Amino acid sequence: MYKFINGGVTAPQGFTAQGIFAGIKAATSAAVTKASVKANEPQKKPTDKKRDLALIYCDTLCNAAAVFTKNLVKSDTITVTKKHLENGKAQAVIVNSGNANTCNADGIEKAERMCEIASDVLGVRAEDVIVASTGVIGEILPIEPIKKGAEAMRGTLSKEGGTNAAEAIMTTDTVKKEMAMTMELGGKTVTVGGIAKGSGMIHINMGTMLSFVTTDAAVSSEMLGEALREAVEDSYNMVSVDGDTSTNDTLAILASGKAGNAEITEKNDDYRAFVGGLTEAFRMLAKKLAADGEGATKLLICKVSGAETKQAAVKVSKSIICSSLLKAAMFGADANWGRVLCAIGYSGADVNVKKVDVSFRSAKGTVDVCKSGAGISFSEEKAKEILLEKEIEILVALGDGSASAEAYGCDLTYDYVKINGDYRT
């Protein structure tokens, strides 16, 4: 029913995008340097030329919805975007990397100014613009490079520009995260496209991860919001890289309605199919986020089955992929299954640990390491061969019921500390 295709955020009908290097991080660093160091000290010239400013546009006003971080410390871009989405409408997105615009006295002013800039360049109302930022917290956002960068993108947005937009929202990400898929709704082919960023400070808990999703499905704003909240629970909210929930997490979706399907205004079969499609789309992006965790070498997928309730399965699966000890063991290809049991034990789920079975699986095969809560004999050599792969499944059978859940994480490496030891400086 769902088919993944080539493309990204511009795949659905009506959408174009672009991304450009505006020098936001360099301008931020220059301002900090001017305020904090002696004038006679030699300064390094910035060499980073990665795109850092993106625009996404639809040629019609869209129904729109979003979910945001539950961290009490939030970027002011979230405050502004929430206000703009009160009517369930949006037509454009402006987003920068290199500066989070968080914990700044002028944060709301700068976020609103970004919307005004997008409004001028794209010819839309400022209140129909979604705004987001990602990067270093607590440093003043320089608006001049954003204004110049947006002006440089005037008239350049295109279908091909979606991949540039995907690059522009990256911070410590090493690869772009894009996705496009089609599905059938009411006899019409509907397309969903999206981009995402996130590598560190990833412990998604929504309503520094950003995701912008577009669709040409006809869906009311109310049902779009409902679908977004349902789909996020089994996808993005099951990702953790380091246990830190970002201040800027934003997942926004715009629906142009150009596919021609009968508008979804209630929770009918088309609604359920749409939620299923969004969930699969978000899972693909969620796995890309986890696999590209800061310093990561392996994607970890924890599949829990046999739980008494869905809530218990979620608690157990997330506890396991959040365990620093387990993540370190996976980096070292060490089948230390005791760390899995330990994480289950403090997960908060009501589990009979005497029933728990654990296995590790990858492209190299499967090794059973624990039965009924106790260790069993297995080949350490075979286990290491399995755990040296780039994608590892941690299979946990609880034996308490029929509920299941799946969580996504990564290994914990030396490079994670190196990246975050001097992230700001």
Rounded Cα–Cα distance for residues 306 and 346 (Å): 18
Residue with tokens 């994607």: 299
How many CB atoms neighbour CB 189 within 10 A? 13
Listed in sequence order, the residues at least 6 apart from 153 whose beta carbon sits closer than 8 Å to its beta carbon are 18, 20, 53, 55, 121
Residue with tokens 């450009």: 20
Active-site residue, 208 included:
yes
Residue 124, token pair as written in the block:
């839309």
Helices (H) and strands (E) in the chain, counts: 12, 15
The identity of residue 5, as a single letter, is I
Rounded Cα–Cα distance for residues 405 and 173 (Å): 26
DSSP state, 363? T
Helix (H, G, I), strand (E, B) or coil at 163: helix
Residue 406 CB-half CA count within 13 A: 16
Residue with tokens 């412990």: 203
Measuring CA to CA, which residue among 214, 212, 192, 190 is closest to residue 270?
Answer: 190
Exposed / middle / buried, residue 371 (Cβ in 10 Å: 0-12, 13-18, 19+): middle
Name the active-site residue from 77, 134, 172, 208: 208
> How many degrees, rounded to 5, is the angle at CA 188 between CA 184 and CA 193?
65
Give the β-pairing of 2-5 and 403-410.
unpaired
Listed in sequence order, the residues at least 6 apart from 36 whose beta carbon sits closer than 8 Å to its beta carbon are none
Residue with tokens 């001017």: 34
Give the dihedral sign, CA 187/222/289/141: positive
Helix (H, G, I), strand (E, B) or coil at 342: helix
Rounded Cα–Cα distance for residues 29 and 237 (Å): 32
Residues labelled as active-site residues: 208
